[in-house]
Amino acid sequence: MTASILSAAGTIVSVAVGVVAAGLVVFAIVYHAVRKKQGKSGCDCGCSGCAGCTACGSAKKKEEKNK
Amino acid sequence: MLKFALAGNPNCGKTTLFNSLTGSTAHVGNWPGVTVDKREGVYKKAASPVAIVDLPGIYSLSPYTPEEVISRNFILDEKPDCVINIVDATNLERNLYLTTQIMEIDVPIVVALNMIDVVKKSGDKIDAKTLEQKIGVPVVEISALKDEGIKELMDRAYEAAQKKRAGTTVLESSALAHVISDVRIALKGKGVENPLFHAIKLTEGDELEVKAHPDEMQMVEEFKKQFADDVFEGDFEAMVADARYKYISANFSTAFVRAKKSEKLTKSDKADRVLTHRIWGIPIFLVILFAIFHFTFGEDLLYLNAIFGFATDVDTGNEVLNAFVAVFYSSAGVSTPGAILFNLMGFICDQIGGGIATGLENVGAAEWAQGLVNDGIWGGLSGVLSFIPQILFLFLLISILEDSGYMARVAFILDRAFRKFGLSGRAFIPMIMGFGCSVPAAINTRTLADEKERIMTNRVIPFFTCGAKAPILAAVCGAIVHIWNPGIDQGLIVFLLYVFGMAMAVITVALMRQTTMRGEVPPFIMELPAYHAPQFRNLMVHLWDKLKHYIKKAFTIIVASAIVIWFLSHMSWEWHYLPDERMNESILHDIGAFVSWICTPMGFGYNTAVMRETGWVFVVAAVTGLIAKENVISTFFVLGNCLGGALNEETMEGWEAVSFLVTETGITWQGLIAFTVFNMLTIPCFAAAATVKGETPKGKFKFTVAFWMITSYLTATAVFVVLSWWWTVFILAAVIALVVAYFILRNKGKINLKFRKRSNAAKE
C-alpha cells in the first residue's frame, strides 16, 4: 500500500517537474516577447545603471511607433 | 500637462534634480556625460502634474556630439513650457555661458543655482537676487543632492510657465549687435521661429543652422561682409563667445563674492597631485584595481596566511557547522569580504540543493525528473545565484570609484598614456562603463564626436569584462587555483585577466589606427569633477537595480536555457531519454562535437582522446553565452553535474563545478585560460551586439563581428600556445616585432617613437 502511494507520488512529482520545466521555458520566451512588444529594454542590465535607459533599440522603436 | 526641460552643463546635477523631482532612480555619475539621451518623469507636487525631461549635458547650444544635438533640438523643437537651467554654482561664470544662449530662445526660463551648499561651505557668496535682476529671469538657490530649494524652484518655474517670454541677448551692447539685429529682422520677416537665436547662430556660422537655413545664410554672409574685425579676423564664432564671456564677467559675475582664501591647495587638488601624477597615476590605478579584485575574489585577506602561515581548517565535529565556519575562515586564510559573500551564498545553495535532491529521491521521482531538477534547473540557477553577492560587491566597489569622481581621473591619466596609441581619454569613459555592462557603455559612445573613434570604442568595449562575464573568470580562476595550485591568489589571476582585456583593447585600437581607422586622435578636454563622498542612496539604488535584474534574468532566460541545455543533452535524435552516462549520444553532443574541432588550437577542442569525447561542452557553453554571458557558467554547472554523474549529490557551487568539469574532460589549465580569454573577447551577448550595431554606422557592423571573432580566436590560440609551450613566446615576439616593423616602415618614420607629443588632455 505504502509502496503504491509512493510510486503514485513519484509519478505525480515527475509529471509536475516536466510541466513546470516546460512552463518555465514558455514563460521565459513569452516574457521576453511581451517585453519586446511593449518596447521595453531587452538587455537586462538594469535601467538605473544605464547611461541611455531611454535610448536602447527597443525603446526607440516604441517611441517611433508612437509618433 | 506642462512640460519642463532640465538643461545645463555636464555634471552640474541635472539627473540628481530629475531623480529628486520625479522619484526616479536614473543613473547618476560623478563625471561629465553620464546622460546621453533625454528621459521623462512626472513631478506631482505642483498644482497640476508636470512632465520633467532630463536632457544630456551641454556646454553650448552649438553641438558637436550626437547627444548634444538631442538637448538643443528638444529645447527648440519640442517647445517645453519652461526650461530649468541648472547652473553649477561652484563654476558660475562658465555655466552662465549656456544660460546666455538659452535666454535667446523664446521660452520661459528659471535658473537653478545648484550646489549652493558647497558654495556656502567654502565661504563664498552668491547674491541670487542681484543675479536675477541682471539676467532678467528667476534665479533660485538649490541643492539637488540635499533636496533644498526644490519646492521654491518648481513654484517659480510653474509661475514662469504661465507667461510667454521673448528671447533676449547679452550681445546687444557688443560690436556684433548690428549684424545680429539685421539678420533677426530678416528672419522674423520670413516667419522663422526664435528669430533672435537663429540670427545669432547663423552669424556664428553654426553648422546645423547653416544646413537648416541655406537661403538665409546667403543673406547673413552679405551682412557679415559689412563687418570687419582685426582681432578675430572674421571668426564670428570666436567673436560671439568672446562677447558673451566679457558680458558675463562684467555683469553677472559681480553677484559672486569669493571669500578670502589662503593659498593652500584644496583636498581635491591635494588628492589629484597624487592620483593623477604623471608617473604614478597609472600604477596607483592598477593598485586600486588590484585591491578591488583582491577584496572581491581573494581567499586570503591581505595575504596574511601567505605571510604568517597560521590558518588551518576548523573541525567542530559537525559537518554543517564546519561548512559554516569555512565561510569565514579556512586553511586558505581569513576570507576576504567578497569570498565571505560567495561562501555564504554557496553554503545556502548547498543546503537548498541538498534538500531538493533528498526530497525528490524520497518521494520516488523518476530518474529523469531528478536529473532535470538537480542538474538542469537548480544546477543552472545555483551556478548564477552563487556568484550574485560577490559580483554585487564588485559593483559596489566600482560604483564607489565612479561616484567619488576617481573614474573621471582615470580617463584623464589613461589619455596621457594611450593618446600616442590612438586612443583619447574620452573614449575610456564608455570603456570603463563596460566593466558594468556593455549595453550602456555602447550607448555612451555617442558622446564621442569622431566617428572612427566611436566605431573603435564600440568594438573594444566587450573586452572590458562586464558583470555577466565576471562569474566565468571567478569560477575558472577558482578552479585553477584549487586544482593546480599555481602559488598565486585567485584574485590576482582575475585581476590579470581584467588587465589583459584592457591591454587587448589598447593593442587592437593601436592596430586599427595604423590600418583601417587612420586619423588624428581627437583632443580631449574634460572638466574633472571635485571628489566627494559617494552617496549611500545612489550606491544602494544602483545595487538594488543590478540585483533585481540579475534575479529576473536568472529566473527567465538563464533557467530556460539551463532546461533546454539539459533536455538537449539528455535526448537522442530518436527522442529517447538518455541517462547521464550516455550523454555522448545526445543531440547537444552531436551539435557541439560538429564544431568542436575548430577550438583545438585554443585548447578546448580535440586536444586529447578524452576531450574528443567531452570537449563539446566548452563549445556549447561558449555558444549559449551569446544569449547571456551568465549562461556560460550555468551551462558548466548543468553539464558538469551530468558528466560526473553527480545525480542526487549536493549541487556544486562556484569553482567546484568547473573543477569537476576539468576532471571529467581533462582540459588543461592553459586551455581553461584560453577558453576564458575567448569568451572575454568574442561576440558579446545578443543585447550588447544589437546595441553596438545600433551605434555603428550602416554597413560597418559586419566588420565589427568579424573583428570580434578573429581577435578572440587568434588571441585565445596565442594564449594557449604560449602558456603550453613557453618558448613559443619568442616566436610570438618575433611575429609582433615584424608587424611593428612593417607599420613603422609603412609610415616611413611618421610614428613618433620618442612619444614627444604632449597630451592634449586638459584639466580645468
Evaluate if pTM is beyond 0.80: yes
**CATH class (in words) of the domain with range B170-257:** mainly alpha
Average pLDDT, rounded, for chain B: 87
DSSP string, B280-316: THHHHHHHHHHHHHHHHH-SSGGGHHHHH--------
Distance of CA B449 to the CA centre of its chain: 18
SS3 B139: strand
Question: To probe the interface with B, which of A53, A58, A64, A66 has the most B CB atoms within 10 Å?
Answer: A53
**Least confident residue range of B192-196, B589-593, B750-754:** B750-754
Q: What is the pLDDT of residue B761?
A: 42
CA-nearest residue to A2 within chain B is B363
Cβ contacts from A onto B, under 8 A = 129
CB B588 within 8 A of CB B518: no
**Secondary structure of B234-289 as H, E, C letters:** CCHHHHHHHHHHHHHHHCHHHHEECCCCCCCCCHHHHHHHHHCCCCCHHHHHHHHH
SS3 B610: helix
pLDDT of residue A52 exceeding 80: no
Give, for B39, the enclosing helix (H) or strand (E).
strand B39-43
Whether the CA torsion B335, B336, B342, B348 is positive or negative: it is positive
User: What is chain A's length?
Assistant: 67
Distance of CA B27 to the CA centre of its chain: 11
CB B477 within 8 A of CB B494: yes
**Least confident residue range of B57-66, B257-266, B326-335:** B257-266
Residues of A in contact with B563 (CB under 8 A): 21, 24-25
Q: How many CB atoms lie within 10 A of CB B190?
A: 12
Q: Do A45 and B439 touch (CB under 8 A)?
A: yes
d(CA A44, CA B686): 11
Residue-wise pLDDT tens digits, B352-380: 988 999 999 999 899 999 999 988 999 88
Q: Do B366 and A10 touch (CB under 8 A)?
A: yes
pLDDT of residue A65 exceeding 60: no
**Least confident residue range of A14-28, B250-264, B358-372, B680-694:** B250-264
B25 interfaces chain A, CB cutoff of 8 Å? yes
Residue-wise pLDDT tens digits, B85-111: 999 998 888 899 999 999 999 999 999
Domain positions in chain A are 2-66
Q: Do A43 and B439 touch (CB under 8 A)?
A: yes
Q: What is the pLDDT of residue B174?
A: 80
pLDDT of residue B250 exceeding 70: yes
d(CA B466, CA B543): 15
CA-nearest residue to A30 within chain B is B556
Nearest Cα to Cα of residue B530 among B694, B764, B190: B764
Residues of A in contact with B32 (CB under 8 A): none
Q: What is the pLDDT of residue B429?
A: 85
d(CA B237, CA B16): 32
CB B349 within 8 A of CB B381: no
CB B607 within 8 A of CB B598: no
Residues of B in contact with A49 (CB under 8 A): 27, 436-437, 440, 542, 545-546
Residue-wise pLDDT tens digits, B215-243: 778 878 877 777 666 555 667 888 888 88
A23 interfaces chain B, CB cutoff of 8 Å? no
Residue with more model confidence, B133 or B230: B133
d(CA B552, CA A47): 13
Average pLDDT over residues B407-424: 86
CA-nearest residue to B32 within chain A is A51
CA-nearest residue to A41 within chain B is B687
Instruction: Tell me the ipTM for this assembly.
Output: 0.82
Q: Do B437 and A11 touch (CB under 8 A)?
A: no
Q: What is the pLDDT of residue A43?
A: 63
Looking at B397-510, which runs of residues are DSSP E strands?
Answer: none
Residues of chain B with CATH 3.40.50.300: 2-161
CB B92 within 8 A of CB B58: no
- Work out the angle at residue B31's Cα, subtended by the Cα atoms of residues B97 and A47, and round it to the nearest 5 degrees: 115
Q: How many CB atoms lie within 10 A of CB A62?
A: 17
Residue-wise pLDDT tens digits, B164-220: 999 999 888 887 888 888 888 888 888 889 999 999 998 888 888 888 888 778 878
Give, for B51, the enclosing helix (H) or strand (E).
strand B50-54
Nearest residue, CB atoms, A57 vs list B36, B40, B690: B690
- What's the CATH architecture for B2-161? 3-Layer(aba) Sandwich (3.40)
CB B600 within 8 A of CB B721: no
**Least confident residue range of B156-170, B310-324, B404-418, B749-763:** B749-763
CB B79 within 8 A of CB B113: no
**Least confident residue range of B195-199, B292-296, B639-643:** B639-643
d(CA B206, CA B290): 47
pLDDT of residue B760 exceeding 50: no
- Residues 103 to 162 of B: which have CB under 8 A from any A CB? none
CB B371 within 8 A of CB B651: no
